[in-house]
Structure 1
Amino acid sequence: MSRLDLKKQLTSSVTVADGAMGTVLYEAGYDLCFEELNVSKPEEIYTIHQAYIEAGATIIQTNSYAANVQKLKRYGLQESVGVINQASVRLARKAVQNSGKKHVFVVGTVGGIQGFQSEQLDHKESMQALVEQVDLLVQEGVDGLLFETFYDFMEIKQLVIEARKRTNLPIIANVSLGDIGVLKGGIRLSDALTELYEAGADVTGLNCRMGPYHMLRSIEELELPYDIPLACYPNASLPGYRDGRFVYASNTEYFTSMSERFINEGVHLIGGCCGTTPAHIKAIKEAASGRTPVKRNIRLQPLKTETIERFHEQRPSIKDLVEEKQTIIVELDPPKKLHIDPFIEGAKAIRDAGADALTLADNSLASPRIDNQTLAMLLKEEGIRSLVHLTCRDRNLIGLQSHLMGLDLAELNDLLVITGDPSKIGDFPGATSVYDVSSTKLLPLIKQMNEGISFSGKSLGKATNFTTAAAFNPNVKHLDKAVRRLEKKIEAGANYFLTQPIFDEGQFEEIYEATKHLSVPIFVGIMPLTSSRNAEFLHNEVPGISLSADTRARMARAGEDKVKAEQEGLAMAKSLADAAATYFNGLYLITPFLRYQLTVELTRYLRAHTTAPLSKERKLQ
């Protein structure tokens, strides 16, 4: 057999591939690094390969899906990349040789790294890991390469390009869909498969995430400019969850009938992904036996694009306001109790004092409070504008998109996107912190919604209209590093920034000089202190907040006199605000402990004392 034999097999015959390796190992009781079993339990891997060959697979893949340095690092196995990949090829080759069957090929499997998760690497790091694995598999003598479960299109496209530079082996490139017919980011499947084929892939297709029904629907929608050989590796079904384990339907007869439909749609290569077993591959073999690929219709015209309704509100965003005038926003924490009259009274008083908007935290310090979206809708009825905070801690991707759709429907389009305090510091330390994404990963997803595309890549039918702020902590030792993080957030989609509270007047000039090159506004945080205890707590226990020795000493001199302490805290806040207004157009006042009288007085003071227009060079700040 040769690579030419495999290429001919893939293009001239309906070919049966193997099914899931992880599913069979999982059912056997293994639940850690499946790829490491190539070394510690080689007989298990060998036996599974044998079973798939006996079921009728013409192509089997190496047990190397996650055998790259970045994924093996999670298990402390990053030094074993070479050994694990080498063993994966040798075990598959041994199973083929001992099967006594002719024309069974071994393809080296490489799985995608990039996904939705907050621990994503940058593309350079992931590509280095993937290319290293390609080189190892090619050196060990695979008949071809299989790239599978790639959610990030640019990652798989770049890998195909890099692999083609290194080898003439046949390449099968499979993407995983966000929704029917589309990849993450709204890339149409037809366009993705076409680009992969043009980049050098011999076969392009789909694997994972979907069962046969949804995968078939995606293939039926394809309109391709060439007769591209197609691959399809569906999951056995949608997964269920029983007794703490994921389970899939045992539906081999269904697989036979669906495989026939795949073949009729022009699929050349059919295998299985999650939940599939040798029994599923045997069912595919029944449908594929003796079949030749069906020629697909070729698309000559570009795909039609759906018209996205775009609505832009007449009211300027908070970002628009701060670019034109001195703008004051005031944070007032949603209450922890259901009696909200004091909160509404405070909000009205802050509005009447001259604040441009009220910012509403999202369960700050991981303690449950009244939902800020509900409060924002109530405040809207009172003519009060809200900047709604959105944390990544409490909602998975499903909940985040749902919440954002609701916010847009309610025309609450000013957002502060933050990662959120970990749940262990709050009222329920045993609660789970979700963190499907960080704030930096959520920002581009919101930007995508502003283009009318959901997280999964499907059309929303209408573009959202969000303006997004992000957090900036200047209270750090190395301000230049913090500014580089701001630059990354701007690239991700941040429109402006809110800082942690600042308690040192000298910081404002330093922050201005470090950020004046940025193209977005910054709101600097000012928070009146209420007591010496409050000052010490903030300085010693709250991450990202630092108080000068002089500030703490001034609060300490007020002693236990609450009135004197509040007056001292307010006096310092006024002085800080005056200093900040010299450099920045945006002021972000933080109300301590719902004592809105303090921020009302501070807002009135600012409206009475900051009337001079800023210079043009500082307009955006």
Structure 2
Amino acid sequence: MGLLEALKSKVLTADGAMGTLLYSYGLDNCHEEMNIIRPDVIEKIHGEYIAAGADVIQTNTYGANAIKLARYGLESKVVEINEAAIALAKKAANGGQFVIGSIGGIRGVRKSDTTLEEILTAIREQATVLIDGQIDGLLLETYYDFKELSETIKMLRSITNMPIIAQVSMHDPGVLQNGLKLNVALQQLEKIGADIVGVNCRLGPHHTIQAFEGVELPERAFLSAYPNASLLAIEEGKVIYESEADYFARAAVQLRNQGVRLIGGCCGTTPKHIEAAKKLLVNLNPIITKEAKPIQEIVIQEAEPRNAEPLHEKVKRERSIIVELDTPRHLEINTFVEGAKALYNEGADIIMMADNSLASPRVSNIAMGSILKLQHNIRVMPHITCRDRNLIGLQSHLMGLNAVGLHDVLAVTGDPTKVGDFPGATSVYDVSSMELISLIKQLNEGISFSGKVLRKKANFSVAAAFNPNVRVLDRAVSRLEKKIEHGADYFISQPVYSKEKIEEIYEATKHLDTPIYIGIMPLTSFRSAEFLHHEVPGIKLSDEVLERMEACEGDKVLEAKEGVAIARELLDTAVSRFNGIYLITPFLRYDLTIQLMQYIKQLDEQNKGVKVNA
């Protein structure tokens, strides 16, 4: 009798966590490598779960693909590790238990590190070994990215008829990371070929049961659940799960009452949990009819109307100027505020503020932005870096920005901490700038990063960074195209110091409908010019510019005057090609920026009626 045939008439008990027991034995390196260097331990764990009553055990292959094994330099051992895992599980299952091959999800919120094509190639390699091992099914587990799971099932269905168990993981009960309801997700997985659909990991028994209350019985497939022992806790730096076996067992019965037929355990569960569950499940028949609990739909309110037109709309038809004025590195803010007022009164559409540029702490741009907006009615645009905040901090920060009406943001990766004032500080980088753009757009739909409904839509206009100062501009443009796919509304370039580069940018990007603001920053001295050219990532100066600034070295007034002259010459080309101009103010020298703004007005008067690229 096969696995699917058994599930027609029985509730089957699966095994629990492998990693939890390996950690308890002090084996905290690559768990999958234990199949070949400590097979005795793996076989022992399988045996303990079988002795506890497990009807189904999974191979120790959750991360046994080339992508995950590469972290340990073991990518060449995919076949050896998977074959060893199959042999160990089959040897332990001498009482007729079903053996299923575990394949773990790769993507979380972060998607840019590995392409979907690379993932499918790695999983195909692993799955081929598992299929050739003639096991009883494949278990796809801990998938947060629904597209990754869906495409994996489609790929596997093209190479095997073996039973497929597809399990999603949720941050919040009943909803996936992308906002899809669990019931809908499981129905979709069934339609594309999964034989058993369910959930595992992240949530404990209570929330797993809660999630299944809104799930209907599948038409053809069966339901599965592998909850964690509980929500995790940290004790003396170690992850622990506080859950008694009898509580887990009672929860297993409640999962059965929700129609689940394959019940096992994930993180924190042990043979004791499985033994307790089996004793209560062994005499229970499967549920064949069920009325799913109606899901209370939360109405998502529309975003509040913006006070001003989004820049990416305005710049498509007329001149638009963004001015950057970085917040101070000290606690005296009056000069900054006076500068922002002067620039805004001169005609800047918005005052942009970096987010601890060059990894050096400055007064919070959300704090200064709130002061400028609420006290002086100045429109502002804060940068948001991926460096300083984890996902919790990023969402909280964005929710705060939306709450105070700061709806214009620039999503950037952020300079690494080693270049700043605290080189020993930790860089977070939970996500890339591309993923951050997508997540901000998800907030615009009223959906949390975790998929949870936020009750109201945000209203962000999202700019993305563009570095044209590269050897091969086509590659930089390809990145722009990817950022557009992620939801970027417009682009803001690094400062450019060559007329030829501006022309090159125009030719390379004129096919894009997404507007670009060209960055111009006046130089203040030869020393700062050399610093920018040699030490600041993403900025390169031409030989001509460096020579001109060097000729003025030592005369501060003359250096600043020459820096403005160079910027004006660059603007001659920039304003003829682009509606969007981005002026970067150096060292709070907003007087220099004002001179350039006035020059742009002169040029626009001279060029009335001449069409330029947005």
**Aligning the two structures, in what range does the TM-score lie when normalised by the shorter sequence?**
over 0.9
Aligned match for 1:33, one of 30, 48, 60: 30
Whole-Å separation in 2 of the counterparts to 1:365 and 1:407: 22
Contact kept? 2:214, 2:294, Cα under 8 Å: no
**Any idea what the Cα deviations from partners look like across 1:554-597, whole Å, max 9, x if unmatched?**
11111211111101101111111121101000110001111111
Deviation at 1:118, TM superposition (A): 5.5
> Residues of 2 paired with 1:79 and 1:528: CA distance?
53
Aligned to 1:23: 20
Please state how far the C-alpha of 1:165 moved relative to its aligned partner: 2.6
- Equivalents in 1 of 2:36, 2:319: separation in Å? 65
Alignment match, 1:248: 241
1: distance between equivalents of 2:360 and 2:609? 39
Match of 1:46 among 43, 47, 56: 43
Question: Which residue, out of 63, 67, 90, partners 2:64?
Answer: 67
**Equivalent residues in 2 for 1:438-587 (5 A)?**
438-587=432-581
Residue 4 (structure 2) pairs with residue 12 (structure 1): no
Asked if the contact 2:61–2:82 (Cα under 8 Å) also holds between the matched residues in 1, the reply is yes
Counterpart of 1:329 in 2: which secondary structure? strand
The one of 297, 300, 305 aligned to 1:308: 300
Distance 1:203 1:58, change over 3 A: same
1:268 is aligned to 261
Question: Separation in 1 of the partners of 2:299 and 2:316?
Answer: 32
Larger deviation: 601-610 or 268-277? Answer: 601-610
- Offset of 1:27 from its aligned partner? 1.5
In 2, the alpha carbon distance for the partners of 1:254 and 1:239 equals 16
Return the offset for 1:224.
4.9
Assess if the C-alpha contact under 8 Å between 1:118 and 1:435 holds in 2.
no
Q: Decide whether the 8 Å contact of 2:217 with 2:223 is kept in 1.
A: no
- State how far apart, in whole Å, the 1-side matches of 2:112 and 2:19 are: 23
* Residue identity in the other structure for 2:416: P
Give the aligned CA root-mean-square deviation in angstroms.
Answer: 1.6
The CA deviation at 1:164 is: 2.3
Name the TM-score, length of structure 2 as normaliser. Answer: 0.97
Of residues 266, 278, 297 in structure 2, which corresponds to 1:285? Answer: 278
SS of the aligned residue for 2:138 comes to strand
CA contact (8 A) 2:359 2:416 kept: yes
SS in 2 for 1:29: coil
In the alignment, structure 1 residue 96 sits paired with structure 2 residue 93: yes
CA distance in 1, matches of 2:450, 2:393: 13
1:178-197, CA deviations, whole angstroms, 9 ceiling, x for partnerless residues?
Answer: 31111111111001111111
The Cα shift of 1:609 comes to: 2.7
Question: Mean alpha-carbon deviation: is it higher for 587-596 or for 57-66?
Answer: 587-596
Helix, strand or coil: the match of 2:89?
A: helix
- More displaced, 285-294 or 467-476? 285-294
The one-letter code sitting in structure 2 at the alignment partner of 1:114 is: R
Give the count of matched residue pairs: 611
Q: Which amino acid aligns with 2:424?
A: G
Shift of 1:325: 1.2
Is 1:198 the equivalent of 2:191? yes
Deviation of 1:158 (Å):
1.9
Q: How many Å separate the matches in 2 of 1:579 and 1:389? A: 27
Could you tell me how far apart the structure 1 residues matched to 2:530 and 2:91 are?
68
Secondary structure in structure 2 of the residue aligned to 1:205: strand
Displacement of 1:82 in angstroms is 0.5
> 2-side partners of 1:497 and 1:336: how far apart?
27
Task: For structure 1, list consecutive stretches of 5 or more residues without a partner in the other structure.
Answer: none
Counterpart CA distance in 1 for 2:69 and 2:113 is 15
Aligned to 2:52: 55
Provide the rounded CA distance (Å) in 2 between the counterparts of 1:209 and 1:425.
36
Q: Name the CA distance, whole Å, in 2 between partners of 1:296 and 1:350.
A: 68
Identify the residue that residue 328 of structure 2 maps to in structure 1: 335
How far the C-alpha of 1:119 sits from its partner, in A, is: 5.0
Amino acid at match of 1:581: V
Q: Which of residues 370, 393, 407 is equivalent to 1:377?
A: 370
Other-structure match for 1:142: 135
Contact 1:387–1:416 (8 Å) recurs in 2 = yes
The question of whether the paired residues in 2 share the 8 Å contact of 1:334 and 1:375 is answered with yes
Instruction: Say if 1:509 and 1:283 are closer, same or farther in 2 by CA, change over 3 A.
Output: same
- State, as a whole percentage, how many aligned pairs show the same letter: 51
**Residue pair 1:452, 1:461 contacting (<8 A) in 2 also:** yes
Q: What is the deviation of 1:61?
A: 0.1
Partner of 1:170: 163
What is the CA-CA distance between 1:517 and the residue it aligns to? Answer: 0.4
Letter in 2 for 1:195: Q
Task: Give 1:87 deviation, angstroms.
Answer: 0.5
SS at match of 1:462: coil
Q: Does the 8 Å CA contact 1:325/1:613 hold for their aligned counterparts? A: no
Distance 1:120 1:287 in 2: 44
Q: Which moved more, 1:167-176 or 1:356-365?
A: 167-176
Alignment of 1:81 onto 2:78: yes
**Contact 2:194–2:221, Cα closer than 8 Å, also in 1:** no
* Equivalent position amino acid for 1:54 in 2: A
Report the Cα offset of residue 304 of structure 1: 7.7
The answer to whether the 8 A contact 2:190-2:218 is kept is: no
Hey, what does 1:325 align to over in structure 2?
318
* Aligned residue in 2 for 1:133: 126
1:404 counterpart residue number = 398
Corresponding residue SS for 2:348: coil
Q: Deviations over 1:381-430 (max 9, x none)?
A: 21211111100000001111111111111111101000000111111111
1:252-276 CA distances to partner (integer Å, 9 max, x unpaired)?
1211211111111111011000111
Tell me, in whole angstroms, the C-alpha distance in 2 between the residues paired with 1:513 and 1:377.
39
- The Cα offsets for residues 316-350 of structure 1, whole Å up to 9 and x where unpaired, read as 01112211211111100011111100000111111
Q: What is the CA deviation profile of residues 459-502 of structure 1, one whole-angstrom value per residue up to 9, with x for unaligned ones?
A: 11111111100000111000001000000000001010011101
Q: Take 2:307 and 2:346, find their aligned partners in 1: how far apart are those partners?
A: 24
Cα 1:140–1:280 change in 2 (3 A) is same
Instruction: Indicate how the Cα distance of structure 1 residues 58 and 225 shifts in structure 2: closer, same or farther if over 3 A, else same.
Output: closer
Say if 1:27 and 1:493 are closer, same or farther in 2 by CA, change over 3 A: same
Q: Distance in 2 between matches of 1:167 and 1:126?
A: 18
- Could you tell me how far apart the structure 2 residues matched to 1:13 and 1:613 are? 79
In 2, Cα distance between equivalents of 1:239 and 1:614: 64
Counterpart Cα distance in 1 of 2:207 and 2:528 = 57
**CA 1:614–1:472 in 2, change beyond 3 Å: closer, same or farther?**
farther
* Partner residue of 1:358 out of 348, 351, 355: 351
Tell whether the 8 Å contact from 2:214 to 2:295 is kept in structure 1 after alignment. Answer: no
Q: Relative to 1, partners in 2 of residues 1:395 and 1:118: Cα closer, same or farther, differing over 3 Å?
A: farther
Q: Which amino acid counterpart does residue 357 of structure 2 have in structure 1? A: S
- For 1:124, the equivalent position in structure 2 comes to 117
Q: Secondary structure at the match of 1:310?
A: coil
1:156 match: 149
Equivalent of 1:422 in 405, 416, 420: 416
- Deviation of residue 162 (structure 1)? 2.2
1:359–1:388 CA contact under 8 A, matched in 2: yes
Q: Say whether 1:215 aligns with 2:212.
A: no
1:358-403 Cα offsets, whole Å, 9 max, x none, are: 0010010111111101111111121211111100000001111111
Query: By how many angstroms is 1:228 displaced?
Result: 4.3
Q: Aligned equivalents of 2:610 and 2:388: distance in 1? A: 42
